[in-house]
Structure 1
Amino acid sequence: MATNFFQQQDSARRKTSQLVVYFVLAIVILIALVYGLLVALSMYGSHEPVSWWQPELLLIAAPGVGIVVGGASAFKVAQLASGGQAVALMLGGKEVPGTTTDARQKRLLNVVEEMALAAGVPVPPVYVLNEPGINAFAAGYAPGDAVIAVSEGCLNYLSRDELQGVVAHEFSHVLNGDMRLNIRLIGLVFGIMALSIIGRSLMFASRARSPGRRDSQGGVMLLGLGVLVLGLVGAFFGRLIMAAVSRQREYLADASAVQFTRNPDGIGGALKKIGGLAEGSRIGNPQAVEAAHMFFANAFASGGLAGLLATHPPLVERIRRLDPQFDGQFPEVRPVGVDREELEGARRGRTPPLAGVPTIPGLPQVPVPVLGFANEVVSRVGHVDPDVISYAQGLNDGMPDVLRAAAQEPFSARALVYALLMDPRADLRERQLTALKAGADPRDFAETSRLVAAAHALADTHRLPLLDLALPALRQMSPQQHRAFRAQVEVLISADQQLSLFEYTLRCVLHRHLDAQFLRQRQTRSVHSSAQKLVQPVATVLALVAWEGHPEPDHATQAFDTGMRSYMGDQHSHRLPPRVECSLAAFDAALQVLNEAVPPIKLRIVVACAACIVADQQVTLREAELIRAICDTLDCPLPPLTVGKAKGL
């Protein structure tokens, strides 16, 4: 349900505040322990009584611990500033190219692509960890910079349904706002554990000192040993914080995976195979200790005291929540093969989306019946179900081979975007091609010319999903290539001196999900908690939504009023401005402000937009693109509006 999505986003935000409280408490305890250590060292070799209260030592301990822990945390967060990719590389992951010929990797890519299209998020890059156990993780600050990583054990031992269950579990973390929390947790825990690193350094330094300075050497050795012990205490607190924050989120992700797939045997089977596999879910990479809370299952042994500090619930308990009849006996685990038929062409018996519904290339104006009530539309935000997954599989299978191959190859992906921007009108398209020939690499121009016809014939419903499929390949550009690509997109968009809704949506997707990687950007923070203070930007957004979906002034006014009443109630006093005053530039500026709202306010915004769109009980593909742009900007993933054959067509 949508409320669950926004509730979980708000819960993740509150968990971040809770994490800060834990972090401060841990620092206070460490300051007290370091102060005690300094007092003890001051007594070392002293023949005079020493007081336990020495303010000058406290003035050394408090700033010292604060600088060390805070500095180390800031360093680690900065190290991971690029998002999920940095975490995947830190853990030894290797990206799976879209052009891979490995059957197991292709199956993995298919599962991730289908889940991403069904969830309404960009297709994330996929990494494989060289680990024999069964494990996985999702990492990033937001869906736009997320990555999915799985171990070799997942590819070797899991069936497609089990792999889908694991991927669905990780997509739940993407949708529920857990990823940003997890990266912050890495930074904070690293800072707390930094004292152990300093302690080891001091002990090594003491061994290297001159043997003639034994008193000094002994003092440094004791100091190093004491700091090392305090570092281990810090590690204990760090693991406690990890366990406190992550355990319940894992139960939620398991339940969401079942909700997404309606197949408890998928994720349940994967968990049972972890129990039956000799390697279990263990991760051998030494960096994994910093990211243990991010994994699908425990990355380390979890018995005894380790069980108390485990970042995940007990394996048997997780399985029994999915399969109450589980008897505790784990299956014998053997490698599984890959059915190559599922990797080649459309699956038998699947109906392509929008079969029989006419489309007008480049002008998505065909009305199609969709969900009739705003709350039903909004209930899809952050929610995936098997019907939508099946629809996404149909979208995926229905992509022309030439375009799908282009979306998977970094060089051709740029040309594919250029081809999608080509206008259906021949004279304007020639003008765009002339500009492209003058400004782009000759190979880009030749590849674009090759793809134009196929892109022109592509159904309107497939254009944005195709762009989503191309994003992993586009992320492989160099910074220089990205600058040239970004500039060329602007040239093609401005060829007719107008900005169409599709061009705006495409540019919005590219900027949000590529700029985060190639350009330094501040992370969006939730700072607006008052619905009343956001009325004006909401009205700006609803005005454009009303005019785009309802050209007749009376109908547009009714739609605008419906949206405003949904947001503010019957007492609102805003009036729909004239069409000429509603620009995409003002619309975009208003959305940037609204993106800084807290999740409960975002819920009201999306409900209001949906109410405005469905005021006439139908949604055009043009409106579907608009609501996609709105939800994408607000970080509220909206799955495709499942459509059927339009009445009267």
Structure 2
Amino acid sequence: MLRIGLFLLTNLAVLVLVGIVFNLLGIGGILEANGVDLNMGALLTMCAIFGFGGAFISLLMSKTMARISTRTQVIDQPRTADEQWLVETVRELSQKAGIGMPDVGIFPMPQANAFATGWNRNDALVAVSSGLLERFNRDEARAVIGHEIGHVANGDMVTLALIQGVVNTFVMFFARLVGFFVDRVLMKNEEGLGIGYYVTSIIMDIIFGALAMIVVAWFSRRREYRADAAGATLASPHSMIAALQRLKAESDTGREEPLPSNMKAFGIYGNMGRLLASHPPLEDRILALQNRLR
């Protein structure tokens, strides 16, 4: 619940900022050009500019934000045998997947996890937790790395940004339509955009934004199966299954700790309610890989 609350508060702050920018740029005028007639095309265009703009700015900043939020230390020169093995494994699997060599990092988390992010397949970051390196054997860790490189090779970060851009656009568009309706029709305001418009728009941004998370999470779950398949191909199916089984065992004993909320979709696993989960249940992912072997 804490993560959901933090998301909503962050979303509210962003939407308030967008509303201020709308006013400063005079964008609100497209809603009042002809009395109650709406310039729907202009409104949709501006929402798309802000919606996609925000999504792609987040994508461009993803590596920096990931390092900060997870306290990832990028390996410039390997200092230990584990770091040397990690860098060499990422290089080997990246070449096999046909992508550029990502930055490689380790983040301080006793639980086993990993993530990949970056704005394109040739400028990514792949990081694993210290707990994963300590407890997973080499074959299992290699499969997890293959899974994350699969995300990069499949262009999942860009795909998610595109989906988020579409979702953002329609959240903002419909929130302002509802705000305009409340202001003009229910509150009978005929002089510009009144308080009913601004308050309603912000409230609907939050409501529609929460509903939109379900759509984004659905797409995120679908791509996890593809990344698992990539891990099975780059490493081995048995190693990928073994890695997921170990994750499930740790999850069942309460040892798991999800990544920060802004990174969950890029990790090897994550836990939330079914509708908002960025990852399918581990047992479903294991079963899907087992079915591929039959």
> Structure 1-normalised TM-score?
0.32
Work out the number of aligned pairs and report it: 236
| Offset, 1:63 | 5.3
Amino acid at match of 1:171: I
Specify the SS of the correspondent of 1:126.
Answer: strand
Which structure is higher in RCO with an 8 Å CA cutoff and minimum separation 6?
2
Distance in structure 1 (CA, Å) of the matches to 2:199 and 2:135: 45
Greater Rg by CA: 1
**Offset, 1:251:** 1.4
Q: Give the Cα–Cα distance (whole angstroms) in 1 for the partners of residues 223 and 169 of structure 2.
A: 23
Q: 1:584 aligns to what?
A: none
The yes-or-no answer on 1:127 pairing with 2:94 is no
The partner residue of 1:276 within 237, 249, 256 is 249
Unmatched segments (≥5 aa) in structure 2: 1-33, 177-193
Q: Is the 8 A contact 1:239 1:311 kept in 2?
A: no
Change in Cα spacing, 1:56 to 1:125, as seen in structure 2 (3 Å) is same
Quote how far apart the aligned CAs of 1:68 are: 4.9
Per-residue CA deviations over 1:44-82 (Å, capped at 9, x if unaligned) read: xxxxxxxxxxx7446288856763563143134135336
Contact 1:96-1:105 within 8 A present in 2 as well: no
- Cα drift, residue 224 of structure 1: 6.3
Is 1:233 aligned to residue 207 of structure 2? yes
1:287 pairs with 2:251? no
1:321 equivalenced with 2:288 (yes/no): yes
The question of 1:261 aligning with 2:235 is answered yes
Structure 1 residue identity aligned to 2:284: E
Q: 1:183 matched to which residue of 2?
A: 161
Instruction: Map Cα deviations across residues 246-305 of structure 1 (whole Å, 9 max, x no partner).
Output: 3332212212222222342x222322233233242512x2433xxx4333222x42xxxx
Alpha-carbon separation, structure 2, partners of 1:90 and 1:76: 19
Q: Could you tell me how far 1:135 is from its partner in structure 2?
A: 2.8
2:116 aligned residue: 138
Judged with a 3 Å threshold, the aligned counterparts in structure 2 of structure 1 residues 99 and 90 are, in CA distance, closer, same or farther, namely closer
CA distance in 2, matches of 1:263, 1:130: 28
User: In the alignment, does 2:134 pair up with 1:159?
Assistant: no
Pair 1:59–1:177, CA change in 2 (3 A): same
SS at match of 2:256: coil
Matched to 1:73, the amino acid is F
Aligned with residue 77 of structure 2, among 83, 94, 99:
99
Give the conservation status (yes or no) of the 8 Å contact 2:50–2:169: yes
Equivalent residue runs for 1:37-48 within 5 Å: none
> Do 1:79 and 1:86's aligned partners in 2 also have CA atoms closer than 8 Å?
no
How far apart in 2 are the matches of 1:57 and 1:130? 56
Query: CA contact under 8 A between 1:182 and 1:294: conserved in structure 2?
Result: no
Q: Secondary structure at the match of 2:278?
A: coil
Match for residue 56 of structure 2 among 59, 69, 77: 77
Judged with a 3 Å threshold, the aligned counterparts in structure 2 of structure 1 residues 235 and 155 are, in CA distance, closer, same or farther, namely farther
Quick one: distance in 1 between partners of 2:147 and 2:88?
A: 16
5+ residue gaps, structure 1, are 1-54, 199-218, 325-649
Q: Which amino acid aligns with 1:80?
A: L
SS in 1 for 2:274: helix
Q: Secondary structure at the match of 2:258?
A: coil
Q: Equivalent residue of 2:78, what SS?
A: coil
Give the 3-state SS of the residue equivalent to 1:80 in structure 2: helix
Residue aligning to 1:645? none
- Find the counterpart in structure 2 of residue 248 from structure 1: 222
